[in-house]
Structure 1
């Protein structure tokens, strides 16, 4: 039985070490039909592995490894095989450009260029190159860090390779937008846009050594610009195309299709888990084709094979990137938070989707859902208005639903804790109106996915009182009171709460008063007084979903 390729992104490693490989080599023919193209897909959908595959197919330096493709679908395409191992190929990934300053990013890019030079030692002393070019190669090899030098580095290396081999060059750039996202989050966005615009312009536009350019990323940023630049990140690139999740071409090249999932489950005798895999990891739509998340499927398959635990989980949530969702939830206005509530509850929302985004625009409320769609946190259910590009959207599967709920819960717990001291102080001061308003505000920020039962409300109040001495369900008087906040000194004021959950909103006031009556009838406060507490205030609180009413026990 073949090993599962968990985290394997190198095509040669995949084949040489006989990992289970889902054949995506037909993608090579798609690329042959393009000149300069950007493929946008969510993270962990096989972009890097596909780019590695392109490198080993096209690279003139990998002729001895041509047998890597033996038995794969591309071998039945005679026309495509005429291009195999015929070109110098520059392959770089920008996925590690995650530094917090522009200066550090330039140093990282310099290291990438050093690695490219290291990959072509034949250039170091090539008799096809001028002495000036050899000196420039040496400069890059030593780690040139001047911004202007780095901007033209890919173009220069491509020209040297063309002179040395007598053939034009294919440039493959993986995860091109990672440095843009990190620049936006860390405050040097304009500098990074200007830098990458010049890198791409010289390498992919004004480069007569270019045979073909292939880029990957999460976002379709065809109009990434700055006030200084005034034009697109990719402005003027001849024959430049973007292949996004809406395009039918190459729709099966990233992620696993249903037939590929069926073969995978058969290979590992896991057909009984087909429904679970579909419920948790299916649901993406690329060009109208149903697609599974390959990373999560493989992680779950690994669990099935190597662990006694068979329960699925949100593997994709642990691969980074979810901080942006937390940011949206944290900064959302009431309408957006309500829409997130609808999504987390499994329903649809209707929104316009923008084809081209800049990271600067992703905080604008009208663009949030476009960003979530392109990065894999939503899927298109149907098109409502093609001209206006309005779509019905929903969460694709249980895995992503778990991400939303987990982030919402984390954010909600923070709101609960942050409002606790003010709430307790209002109760101590007998400010029923203030306490009721604050508790209703906190409840309003919860999501409908939560179970609005007494256990939820009990936990909510314990969370708000977490900084205090609180006892729960403690014997007092003739029974057990729900929650008691005990003062450090028996002479200071404490608070006793009795909770009720209503079946109808109109019963809230009545139930709150019943809770107060229970405190009196069961002699909860008298029980505390017998223990020496001198000043205990009792409150009855009734809840209905996101609403509550607080009533006080009369003196």
Structure 2
């Protein structure tokens, strides 16, 4: 535990806090990552790019860098933290530089103009922090006019004092020069989420225009900027394939597969142990590890901080709270959906292997963009790895691009599980004639057709084997698949796991002509489908699942026991 964590008063959990100063001023718990500063200085790079998935602390680290290096900083922010122990480094670097810090996460719009205006606003707001430049004795009138153009983003203003397209492209370079003139020291440039505008532009259809803008902006700021001391950029993807960094020969890229800096993004095992001990939550370590650990950054196993912090917050309020999806619910999951939509049988088998706790081997490119997903289905695996849906490690010493990939933890496993169910439902419902024939076989008592067609659906789908499913959920995947098929009949009353008699049947159905069906599902863990079917029928009788249908005036009741084993099934009727 750091000195910052000591004391009897419980510190607040920093849910969504990305401003380093707030940890000090508002007394939030902080997992100490300040040695990132020392590592950055020792392993010098003029321009440093860190690619990590979202919600792993990129923005907080950038705020920490700003607070450490910026002229006029409050040294007390780092009292008791690890970096403060290196007094020589702090004396040399702390509070010694002008710092330009921007985040591009808000640069979005329905068209290119709206997005470029949003970029103007971001840079204009960052420039307004330095209004003292208007009074600086080190700047002449021409310099001050240049500064006024940076802070005036209103397109309705006098053109001579507004941020034109040309000024926007050169804005970070201009601001760097002005700050260097004022302070007599070169600037540190921090650009957080540099690739978000490209992602948004791709989805909205103005990708090429945004690539050109970002390329010129970064080229002027990072390549032809004599006032730059060093720069740090963060993002999810390395976008060098689009020539964003053309000619930038001083760029050092640190991806999730690199060992250097691997412990500074995300929570290490030691970070989690310390945090759980601080809040008296150590008994929950096992479930937290199963659900939120498993990411592999370089040589370090990493937890998702967003998940751990949110779950700890809920545990403090209610210790019996089960784990939930936090990271997976913070944005859309279009990448996984795209993979499923384009999946051939080989890809389905690979997704199935992942869902069942296995690994797949793939060639991974860490220089892809979202646009490259369209070129080849294989590219999707690279993006899923870079964005945190899969994790992995090198497996071929002769080829650094060959990775073994797997689903990192319970949270992402559940995400895949739910998306596969939704995908299968959408696919099957698109074949109305086939699904109607399948459903019609149930009230007709046509066991042979049910079994044959259900077997076909199992072959077409992605199954989840017994070994991959948590306790008390062994039949859930097959239950969800069958329920989705049967619910396609709009005039049927279909109930799932509802109380009907003395227990809960898996599925009960009543048709408009008062035919009732009770369906009990079993997973045959030993492969004995016939035995599992018999157990299902016995359970229907012993639990009196049909009583509810009888009370509703059903004139005929059919009972089905259905057993599954991987992609095999058996159907019996009573």
The two structures have a TM-score, normalised by structure 1, of: 0.82
Residue 492 of structure 2, aligned match among 444, 447, 469: 469
Give the Cα–Cα distance (whole angstroms) in 2 for the partners of residues 11 and 502 of structure 1: 51
Cα shift readout 1:368-408 (whole Å, capped 9, x = no counterpart): 22211111111215513442521211111112112211222
Report SS of the residue matched to 2:240: coil
In the TM superposition, residue 457 of structure 1 has moved relative to its aligned partner by 6.2
Secondary structure at 1:464 match in 2: coil
The answer to whether the 8 A contact 1:378-1:395 is kept is yes
Equivalences, count: 517
5+ residue gaps, structure 2, are 1-9, 154-161, 538-545
Structure 2 contact 152–163 (Cα < 8 Å) conserved: no
Aligned counterparts, 1:19-30, within 5 A: 19-30=28-39
Shift of 1:28: 0.8
Match of 1:370 in 2: 382
User: In structure 2, what is the Cα distance between the partners aligned to 1:45 and 1:400?
Assistant: 15
Q: Which secondary structure state, in structure 2, belongs to the residue aligned with residue 203 of structure 1?
A: helix
The equivalent of 1:175 in structure 2 is 193
Partner of 1:518: none
SS in 1 for 2:232: strand
- 1:58-97 aligned within 5 A: 58-60=69-71, 62-63=72-73, 65-77=74-86, 78-97=88-107
Number of the residue aligned with 1:229: none
Q: 1:272 aligns with which of 275, 283, 308?
A: 283
Q: Distance in 2 between matches of 1:29 and 1:498?
A: 63
Please name the residue that 1:256 is paired with: 267
Q: How far is 1:241 from its partner?
A: 0.5
Q: Residue in 2 aligned with 1:447?
A: 463
Question: Cα distance 1:31–1:499, how it changes in 2: closer, same or farther (>3 A)?
Answer: closer
What CA deviation, in whole Å up to 9, does each residue of 1:324-359 have, x standing for no partner?
Answer: 222222332222222111111111111111132122
Shift of 1:36: 0.6
CA pair 135-390 structure 1, distance change in 2 beyond 3 A: same
- Distance in 2 (alpha carbons) for counterparts of 1:236 and 1:420: 55
1:469 and 1:487 in contact (8 A); partners too: yes
Give CA deviations for 1:287-329 in whole Å, capped at 9, x if unaligned: 2012111111111111111235432122111211423222222
Instruction: Quote the offset at 1:212 in angstroms.
Output: 0.7
Shift of 1:176: 0.6
Quote the residue 2:404 is aligned against: 392
Q: How does 1:156-555 map to 2 (within 5 A)?
A: 156-223=174-241, 225=242, 232-363=243-374, 364-381=376-393, 383-387=395-399, 389-420=401-432, 422-424=434-436, 442-443=457-458, 444-449=460-465, 451-452=474-475, 455=479, 458-465=482-489, 467-470=490-493, 486=511, 544=564, 545-546=566-567
Query: Measured at CA, do residues 249 and 382 of structure 1 come closer, stay the same or move farther in structure 2, by a change above 3 Å?
Result: closer
Q: Deviations along 1:120-164, whole A, 9 cap, x unmatched?
A: 111234332232332232223220464332111111111111112
CA shift in 2, pair 1:368/1:532, >3 Å: closer
Aligned equivalents of 2:304 and 2:554: distance in 1? 62
Cα distance, 1:418–1:506 mapped onto 2, change above 3 Å: farther
Q: Which residue of 2 aligns with 1:521?
A: none
- The structural deviation recorded for 1:541 is 10
After superposing the two structures, state which structure 1 stretch, 202-211 or 391-400, moved more: 391-400
Counterpart position of 1:519: none
SS in 2 for 1:121: helix
- The residue number in structure 2 matching 1:228 is none
Segments of 5+ residues of structure 1 without an aligned counterpart are 226-231, 516-523
How far apart, CA to CA, are the structure 2 residues paired with 1:81 and 1:34? 21
Q: TM-score scaled to structure 2, two decimals? A: 0.80
Which residue number corresponds to residue 47 of structure 1? Answer: 58
